[in-house]
Amino acid sequence: MPALLQTELADLHLYARGKVRDLYAAGEFLLMVATDRISAFDHVLGSGIPGKGKVLTQLSLFWFDFLADIVPNHLITADVQKYPPDVAAHADELQGRSMLVARAQMFPVECVVRGYISGSGWKDYQATGKICGIALPAGLKESEKLPQPIFTPASKSLDGEHDENISFDEMAARIGRQWAETLRKLSLAIYTKAANYAETRGLILADTKFEFGRTAKGIVLADEALTPDSSRYWPRDGYQPGGPQVSFDKQYVRDYLEEIRWNKKAPAPSLPENVIARTQEKYLEAYRLLTGHSLNI
């Protein structure tokens, strides 16, 4: 099955096209379609990962349901037969990789929670002993579990450029302290519940990011939730702090791009077949481990 790199639903109005998702207007709602595009270092790569969009969508649906007691979400339905007629006409292309969602006024921040020190957090810590202004104990190792999960927001780039870590005070200045406090509390609660569940499935949820918006029913969890695109999952067996870990996220792709010494400027390269196949396996395995079911793509 070839990768779906871009949707062209000609009779629908394209609302926006992100790095991975295509958004269409659907009356009072939005149609969110997860393509098989994959991005790294803020660029969409020349190759897609076949079926990736279905993994992202189905895993988000799983987590939306799992977390419903903590926060509502923007989902209206993922049943293509219940879509408006002009949208349902594209059922074959949309099946399994789309959601009809409520329009939300999105907060212009990424709500990042870290339970372990890795990625950009590790780089910040090495340079300053802090992450997003939060002082951490001296002597932590890469991938080590933090004394407690920390909330480390990031700017939400509107033009597709690099999101930057910001302090909580900067977040509060941008969206208001009360909203910031609420989003921090929600993010930490979601992370804690999800991480505890992941542990029972043999996975460590090292860090993740959320996006929230506002609708008539208040704050909602939007976009996606706890997928390998937005989260760093490690196998619990074999976890050993002191360096990078085996990962179910896009790190495999990033590592390949580092190996070929790509300059991280456009045009982004395509991936060889073995990297595509291995990345697909990682996404499917993450879905199977978390949900207990296999996904037929």
pLDDT digits (tens, 9 = 90+) for 208-225: 999 999 998 899 999 999
Q: Is 14-103's fold the same as 106-249's?
A: no
Across the strands, what pairs with 34? Answer: 21
Query: What are the extents of the domains in the chain?
Result: 14-103, 106-249
User: Which CATH superfamily does the domain covering 106-249 fall into?
Assistant: ATP-grasp fold, B domain (3.30.470.20)
Predicted pLDDT of residue 251: 80
Q: What does each C-alpha distance from 55 to 73, 118, 254, 297 come to in angstroms?
A: 18, 24, 19, 8
pLDDT at 158 over 70: no
pLDDT at 296 over 90: no
Nearest to 122 by CA among 244, 276, 219: 244
Question: The pTM is what?
Answer: 0.94
108 CA to centre of own chain: 15
Q: How many CA atoms lie within 13 A of 204 on its CB side?
A: 22
pLDDT per residue as tens digits for the range 231-286 = 999 999 999 999 999 888 788 898 899 999 999 999 999 999 999 999 999 999 99
Report the SS3 class of residue 174. Answer: helix
What percent of the chain lies above the pLDDT cut of 90?
89
Architecture of domain 14-103: 2-Layer Sandwich (3.30)
